[in-house]
């Protein structure tokens, strides 16, 4: 298996603060890699470096066996898709129009979409199950739906490598599980996944390997089991071992009051079913729902996108 | 089609009124039409065409700047680009009065430079940590616009300016379309068509920019180059519009807004539609402005302010409250 993404002795600094010093790591094809580490350690920066949006001050980054400096910008966008953490869209763009932007690197100077492009856009929307909402206005979608639209843009780029920045952030449990299942499906299509995640349990369940970034120490790459080792995590996140062990414990402490693992699984399943039921209801009455969500969002975000 | 209809009808309206049929006849037989022909072709038609070109330029600039700032409130007048163009043009009239009436470019060139400088300043002031803050954009645009208008007004008061120069400056400050010479009209029309054609591929990329700068870069768009080209093209269009009609506000806000309701937000479709509708809109508005209160004429800028001001406030309010 050849490496799809490789960092060789990469140095990178934001103005004066060094983020990476002599960073070396490699990701092989069709891996699912969890990128973990404390806040501010440079997870997003690493993804942006790999996507060619930032240039390392020294060292070399290779994608599909070729140094990034040798890639044409558009060709690179056809090979590597970055799914950023946030997507907020001014104007009433529809889901379909948003996903179609994934074809931009394939289009010529005047940038029209051919019938094959439309087919790719369609199948990308199908893959993440948003085909039924393709005519809805993006700004009115819920968090989980937006997340899926973002992944559909990435899919429309037909990449070999997809870099996701905290794809499960702000999603409820059900949506998180759905999203990870979706990512697994993508790996089945031959796409290598590197995803920055905070939820270690989710990473352990769904990823084949992990990269751990520790402030002031070299990055560690290995299987999930190796990397999610309490000692390593303790150092990276600067937490006490007992806290960590409790967090990482495979089963919750057996007490009479707390439900056993089977019960949890069961309640999860029923919760999931209930959510799906609600979702179907929502689809049947889109009007009511849009109104409710609109007000809730207003309260949460205040002035909305223009503040960004 | 609508544009042609608006042009013919508008030419007919005025202190001396002609019917649609009379205008049509005169257009077909220019030599035989006598006084009618003189009024129509030397006085009215240039003014109507000037209004059309100015409206097209302002609306297209609105679409470009709104895509660039990712904000439907971005209008060349609101951002101070028009003010910059007016000052640049005033400097041209003031410093090189002999050249400025030859109609070939001095006024437009300096107006372009003024507009470009105003945009660069507003651009840098409205940036906060890599993103645009709407408050800063509006306030910077307001401050720059007001300063530049004051400077233009000061130039207008200088005794040295020639009479015709003073008249042009006064008309600019009021937002009044003046009947230009045919040579000036041809020059503006040609440059404007080229600028609009050049803006089309940019409009397509503005759709990717709507996602965010990072997203657009990730999709292979050269963001820095795109931003510069949009600012330059928008400044050219603004300068041309201002050289014909001066400070006409809110056209670049009203027209794209209503087109978005009909056509959706795709900039590539919006841009040509905005140019055409902007032309029709300003031709009609200018015709109303010069006939509705006959025998006196009001500047068309006043009319667009009456229409556009409330629309601006409505959009601002909606922006503040929701997505």
Quickly list DSSP for A35-69.
EE--TTSSHHHHHHHHTTSS--SEEEEEETTEEGG
Alpha carbons B114 and B120: distance in angstroms, whole number: 10
Torsion region of A59: left, alpha or beta (phi above 0 gives left; psi -120 to 50 gives alpha) = left
Q: Establish if B208 touches chain A: CB-CB under 8 angstroms.
A: yes
Q: Establish if B130 touches chain A: CB-CB under 8 angstroms.
A: no
Binned at pLDDT 50, 70 and 90, residue B69 comes out as confident
pLDDT of residue A218: 81
For the residues B151-168, what does the mean pLDDT come to? Answer: 69
pLDDT at B271 over 70: yes
For the residues B49-69, what does the mean pLDDT come to? Answer: 90
Enter the DSSP assignment of A192. Answer: E
Out of A86, A89, A105, the one facing B210 most closely (by C-beta) is: A89
Alpha carbons A167 and A179: distance in angstroms, whole number: 8
As a whole-number percent, the residues of chain B with pLDDT over 90 amount to: 5
Alpha carbons B142 and B249: distance in angstroms, whole number: 12
Q: A23 vs A229, which has greater pLDDT?
A: A23
pLDDT at A180 over 60: yes
pLDDT of residue B61: 92
Binned at pLDDT 50, 70 and 90, residue A287 comes out as very low
pLDDT of residue A260: 45
pLDDT of residue B96: 63
Binned at pLDDT 50, 70 and 90, residue A81 comes out as very high
Binned at pLDDT 50, 70 and 90, residue B25 comes out as low
Beta carbons within 8 Å of B55's beta carbon, 6+ residues apart: B241, B251, B255, B278, B279, B280, B281, B282, B283, B285
- B206 neighbors B67 (Cβ within 8 angstroms): yes
Between the two ends of chain B, the Cα-to-Cα distance in Å is 37
pLDDT at A258 over 60: no
pLDDT at A131 over 80: yes
- B67 neighbors B267 (Cβ within 8 angstroms): yes
pLDDT of residue B220: 86
Beta carbons within 8 Å of A79's beta carbon, 6+ residues apart: A63, A64, A71, A159, A160, A161
Alpha carbons B107 and B171: distance in angstroms, whole number: 15
Residue of A nearest to B136 (CA): A307
Question: What's the mean pLDDT when you consider all of chain A?
Answer: 78
For the residues B135-163, what does the mean pLDDT come to? Answer: 74
Residue B249 in tokens: 């506000």
Enter the DSSP assignment of A303. Answer: T
- Of the listed ranges A107-121, A147-161, A270-284, the one predicted with least confidence: A270-284
pLDDT of residue A26: 87
pLDDT of residue A297: 41
Binned at pLDDT 50, 70 and 90, residue B77 comes out as confident
pLDDT of residue A304: 37
Binned at pLDDT 50, 70 and 90, residue A162 comes out as very high
- In chain A, which residues touch B (CB < 8 A)? 48, 51, 53, 73-74, 76-78, 81-82, 84, 86-94, 97-98, 101-102, 104-105, 107, 109-111, 139-140, 153, 157, 294, 297-298, 301, 303-308
pLDDT at A13 over 70: yes
pLDDT at B179 over 70: yes
pLDDT of residue B194: 92
Optimal mutation site among A101, A134, A293, interface B, most CBs of chain B within 10 A: A101
pLDDT at B136 over 60: yes
Out of A84, A93, A111, the one facing B265 most closely (by C-beta) is: A93
DSSP string, B53-110: HHHHHHHHHHHHHHHHHT-TT--TTTTTHHHHHHHHHHHHHHH-HHHHTS-SSHHHHH
Q: B90 vs B257, which has greater pLDDT?
A: B257
| Beta-carbon separation of A111 and B205 below 8 A | yes
For the residues A90-109, what does the mean pLDDT come to? Answer: 86
Alpha carbons B282 and B176: distance in angstroms, whole number: 11
Binned at pLDDT 50, 70 and 90, residue A17 comes out as confident
pLDDT at A267 over 70: no
pLDDT at A38 over 80: yes
How many residue contacts between A and B have a Cβ separation below 8 Å?
Answer: 99
Backbone angles phi, psi at A212, to 5 degrees: -110, 120
pLDDT at B154 over 70: yes
Optimal mutation site among B130, B220, B264, interface A, most CBs of chain A within 10 A: B220
pLDDT of residue B173: 78
pLDDT of residue B323: 39
DSSP string, B106-132: HHHHHHHHHHHHHHHHHHHHHEETTEE
For the residues A57-68, what does the mean pLDDT come to? Answer: 88
Residue of A nearest to B133 (CA): A307
As a whole-number percent, the residues of chain A with pLDDT over 70 amount to: 78
Residue of B nearest to A296 (CA): B322
For the residues B1-6, what does the mean pLDDT come to? Answer: 63
Residue of A nearest to B130 (CA): A308
pLDDT of residue B64: 93
In chain A, residues with a C-beta closer than 8 Å to the C-beta of B257 are none
- Of the listed ranges A24-38, B85-99, B250-264, the one predicted with least confidence: B85-99
- Of the listed ranges A62-66, A82-86, B125-129, B272-276, the one predicted with least confidence: B125-129
| Beta-carbon separation of B323 and A297 below 8 A | yes
pLDDT at B59 over 70: yes
Rounded to two decimals, the pTM is: 0.80
Enter the DSSP assignment of A259. Answer: P
Give the side-chain half-sphere CA count within 13 A for B203.
Answer: 24
pLDDT at B197 over 50: yes
For the residues A165-181, what does the mean pLDDT come to? Answer: 83
For the residues B202-217, what does the mean pLDDT come to? Answer: 88
Binned at pLDDT 50, 70 and 90, residue B34 comes out as low
For the residues B116-126, what does the mean pLDDT come to? Answer: 82
Alpha carbons A34 and A22: distance in angstroms, whole number: 21
Give the side-chain half-sphere CA count within 13 A for B112.
Answer: 17
Question: What's the mean pLDDT when you consider all of chain B?
Answer: 78
Q: Establish if B129 touches chain A: CB-CB under 8 angstroms.
A: no
pLDDT at B115 over 50: yes
- Of the listed ranges A235-239, B21-25, B270-274, the one predicted with least confidence: B21-25
Residue A127 in tokens: 């893959």
For the residues B64-75, what does the mean pLDDT come to? Answer: 87
Q: Establish if B63 touches chain A: CB-CB under 8 angstroms.
A: no
- Of the listed ranges A160-169, A241-250, B212-221, the one predicted with least confidence: A241-250
Give the side-chain half-sphere CA count within 13 A for A281.
Answer: 8
- B277 neighbors B222 (Cβ within 8 angstroms): no
pLDDT of residue A255: 43
pLDDT of residue B38: 64
């Amino acid at each position: 298996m050849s490496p799809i993404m490789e960092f060789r002795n990469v140095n990178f600094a934001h103005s004066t603060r060094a983020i990476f010093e002599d960073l070396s790591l490699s990701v092989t094809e069709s891996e699912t890699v969890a990128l973990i580490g404390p806040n501010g350690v440079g997870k997003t920066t690493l993804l942006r470096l790999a996507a060619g949006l930032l240039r390392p001050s020294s060292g070399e980054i290779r994608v599909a066996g070729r140094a990034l400096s040798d890639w044409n910008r558009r060709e690179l966008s056809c090979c590597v898709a970055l799914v950023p953490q946030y997507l907020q869209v001014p104007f009433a763009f529809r889901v379909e129009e948003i996903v179609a932007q994934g074809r931009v690197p394939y289009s010529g100077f005047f940038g029209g979409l051919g019938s094959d492009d439309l087919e790719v856009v369609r199948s990308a929307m199908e893959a993440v199950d948003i085909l039924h909402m393709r005519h809805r206005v993006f700004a009115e979608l819920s968090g989980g739906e937006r997340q899926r639209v973002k992944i559909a843009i990435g899919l429309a780029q037909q990449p070999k490598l997809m870099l996701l920045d905290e794809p499960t952030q702000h999603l409820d449990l059900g949506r998180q599980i759905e999203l990870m299942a979706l990512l697994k499906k993508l790996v089945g299509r031959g796409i290598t996944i590197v995803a920055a995640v905070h939820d270690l349990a989710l990473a352990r369940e769904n990823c084949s390997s992990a990269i751990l970034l520790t402030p002031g120490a070299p990055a560690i790459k290995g299987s999930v089991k190796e990397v999610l080792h309490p000692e390593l995590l303790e150092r990276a996140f600067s937490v006490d071992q007992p806290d960590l062990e409790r967090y990482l414990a495979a089963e919750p402490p057996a007490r009479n009051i707390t439900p056993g693992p089977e019960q949890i699984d069961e309640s999860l399943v029923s919760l999931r079913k209930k959510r799906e039921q609600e979702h179907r209801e929502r689809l049947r009455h889109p009007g009511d729902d849009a109104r409710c969500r609109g007000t809730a969002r207003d309260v949460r975000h205040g002035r909305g996108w223009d503040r960004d | 089609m609508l544009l042609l209809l608006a042009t013919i009808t508008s030419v007919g309206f005025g202190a001396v009124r002609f019917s649609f049929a009379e205008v049509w006849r005169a257009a077909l037989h220019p030599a035989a039409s006598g006084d009618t022909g003189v009024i129509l072709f030397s006085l009215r038609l240039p003014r109507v065409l000037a209004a059309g070109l100015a409206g097209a330029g302002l609306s297209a600039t609105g679409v470009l700047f709104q895509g660039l700032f990712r904000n439907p409130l971005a209008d060349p007048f609101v951002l101070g680009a028009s003010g910059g163009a007016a000052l640049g043009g005033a400097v041209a009239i003031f410093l090189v009065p002999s050249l400025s009436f030859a109609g070939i470019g001095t006024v437009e060139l300096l107006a372009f430079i003024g507009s470009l400088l105003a945009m660069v300043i507003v651009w840098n002031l409205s940036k906060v940590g890599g993103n645009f803050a709407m408050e800063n954009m509006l306030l910077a645009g307001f401050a720059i616009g007001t300063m530049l208008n004051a400077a233009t007004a000061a130039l207008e008061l200088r005794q040295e300016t020639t009479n015709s120069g003073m008249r042009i400056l006064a008309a600019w400050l009021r937002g009044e379309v003046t009947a230009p010479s045919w040579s000036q009209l041809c020059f503006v029309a040609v440059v404007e068509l080229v600028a609009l054609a050049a803006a089309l591929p940019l409009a397509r990329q503005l759709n990717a920019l709507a996602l965010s700068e990072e997203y657009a870069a990730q999709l292979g768009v050269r963001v820095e180059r795109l931003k510069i080209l949009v600012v330059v093209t928008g400044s050219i269009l603004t300068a041309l519009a201002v050289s014909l009609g001066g400070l006409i506000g809110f056209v670049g806000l009203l027209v794209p807004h209503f087109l978005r309701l009909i056509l959706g937000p795709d900039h590539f479709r919006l841009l040509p539609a905005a140019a055409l509708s902007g032309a029709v809109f300003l031709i009609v508005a200018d015709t109303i402005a010069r006939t509705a209160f006959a025998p006196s004429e009001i500047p068309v800028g006043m009319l667009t302010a009456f229409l556009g001001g409330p629309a601006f406030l409505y959009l601002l309010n909606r922006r503040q409250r929701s997505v």
